[in-house]
């Protein structure tokens, strides 16, 4: 309940209500972009300062290893399941989106854990960065394999396979034009501006250490909470615009958007328990496993898997999974981590 009373989350709810009421409330796009860059820079600095003070203990290496394991296993499991209910291209798009992570969910959870006295290690920021790209790489490899098997350079838009809705991508039909080369798409994903900013800020925090932390304290501390609330206000408006798309999705996909993250979080909790992680690190690992990308991966998928339907791989993560994680998931994962991982 305390997570729901967090001012930043309440501002998200205000934006959501405003969007549903079709209010003219909006945050100008340049301001929203500035806010997202600020949050990533501040988070990277905070993680770097923590790494400078703590170093990289065995627990940190374990957390990063588990993050990479989840970043590989979740998209593969998602592909195995989703290809049974939707066409291959859409299954690839959804598996990539749900196999990656949401930086905004991570930032919000990180801030709430700090307030609860469960501050995670700085290495968790590095773990988040490393979880961004494996799912996209897996989707690219699977797409190449499927295209080769179908003797076609694309997964062409065609008829309706069993269990899929009309107008989805299949492996049948004539080629419609290929996507960008896999290496170019992967390079663009790995050199995505916000991701590079996060890595740069993390490195600066490590190098500058305690001195840099003292100098940047107003930037990474006092301003952070207010600007996060401002950003989540805009996210609420954006989520409201995706709800109509999400409601039109197949019941199977809606179930995956709701239940999939819970299963992924439970898997992360089990791995965290086996590795002996603390409740702060474990809760944040659960958040990462349960989140889905609606910025980096969808942008890359437009080039990597052009046959996939953006309404699915963007609408479901943003319209269903993100608000559920923000309003209920973070608190649930934190409580579960405290119950299971508390020393």
Give residue 138's domain range: 7-19+28-145+188-341
Q: Cα 12–101–326 angle (5° rounding)?
A: 25
Mean pLDDT of 266-289: 96
Cβ contact 329:107 at 8 Å: no
For 263-277, what is each residue's pLDDT tens digit?
999 999 999 999 999
Residue 165's pLDDT is what?
41
**How many separate domains does the chain show?**
1
Structure tokens at 295: 């910025």
Does some domain include residue 116? yes
- Rounded-to-integer distance, Cα 200 and Cα 270, Å: 32
Helix or strand holding residue 304 (H, E): helix 296-304
Does some domain include residue 174? no
Residue 95 sits in a domain whose CATH number is 1.20.1530.20
**56 vs 24, 199, 221, 243, 340, CA distance in Å?**
47, 16, 23, 41, 24
Cβ contact 19:237 at 8 Å: yes
Structure tokens at 199: 């890595």
Does some domain include residue 138? yes
Does some domain include residue 211? yes
Does some domain include residue 171? no
Structure tokens at 152: 């076609």
Q: Which of 292, 282, 284 is nearest to 110 (CA)?
A: 284
Classify residue 121 by its DSSP letter: P
Residue 337's pLDDT is what?
96
Does some domain include residue 229? yes
Residue 185's pLDDT is what?
60
Q: Cα 76–313–285 angle (5° rounding)?
A: 55
For 21-67, what is each residue's pLDDT tens digit?
989 888 898 898 888 888 888 888 888 888 888 788 889 999 999 99
Residue 61's pLDDT is what?
93
Does some domain include residue 170? no
pLDDT at 171 over 60: no
Cβ-proximal residues to 231 (8 Å cutoff; 6+ apart), any chain: 27, 32, 35, 36, 39, 104
Please report which residue ranges of 55-180 form alpha helices under DSSP H: 58-82, 88-99, 103-115, 123-130, 134-149
**187 vs 37, 162, 272, CA distance in Å?**
20, 35, 31
For 116-154, what is each residue's pLDDT tens digit?
899 898 899 888 888 888 888 888 888 878 877 765 555
Cross-strand bridge partners of residue 169: 157
- Rounded-to-integer distance, Cα 328 and Cα 334, Å: 10
Does some domain include residue 167? no
């Amino acid at each position: 309940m305390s997570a729901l009373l967090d001012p930043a989350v309440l501002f998200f709810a205000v934006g959501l209500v405003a969007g549903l009421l079709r209010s003219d409330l909006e945050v100008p796009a340049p301001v929203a972009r500035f806010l997202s860059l600020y949050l990533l820079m501040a988070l990277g600095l905070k993680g770097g300062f923590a790494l400078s003070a703590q170093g990289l203990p065995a627990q940190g290496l374990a957390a990063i290893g588990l993050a990479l394991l989840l970043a590989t296993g979740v998209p593969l499991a998602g592909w195995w399941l989703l290809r049974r209910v939707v066409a291959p291209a859409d299954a690839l798009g959804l598996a990539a989106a749900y196999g990656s992570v949401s930086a905004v969910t991570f930032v919000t959870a990180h801030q709430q854990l700090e307030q609860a006295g469960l501050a995670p290690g700085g290495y968790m920021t590095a773990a988040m960065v490393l979880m961004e790209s494996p799912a996209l790489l897996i989707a690219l490899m699977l797409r190449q394999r499927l295209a080769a098997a179908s003797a076609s350079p694309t997964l062409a838009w065609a008829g309706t396979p069993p269990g899929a809705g009309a107008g989805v991508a299949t492996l049948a039909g004539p080629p419609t034009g290929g996507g960008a080369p896999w290496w170019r798409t992967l390079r663009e994903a790995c050199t995505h501006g916000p991701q590079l900013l996060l890595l740069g800020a993390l490195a600066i925090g490590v190098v500058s250490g305690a001195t840099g932390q003292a100098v940047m304290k107003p930037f990474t501390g006092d301003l952070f909470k207010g600007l996060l609330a401002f950003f989540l206000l805009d996210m609420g408006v954006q989520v409201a615009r995706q709800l109509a798309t999400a409601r039109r999705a197949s019941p199977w996909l809606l179930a995956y958007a709701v239940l999939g993250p819970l299963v992924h979080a439970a898997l992360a909790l089990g791995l965290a328990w086996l590795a002996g992680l603390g409740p702060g690190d474990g809760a944040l690992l659960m958040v990462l496993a349960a989140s889905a990308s609606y910025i980096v991966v969808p942008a890359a998928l437009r080039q990597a898997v052009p046959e996939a339907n953006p309404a699915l791989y963007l609408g479901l993560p943003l319209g269903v999974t993100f608000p559920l994680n923000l309003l209920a998931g973070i608190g649930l994962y934190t409580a579960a981590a405290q119950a299971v991982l508390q020393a």
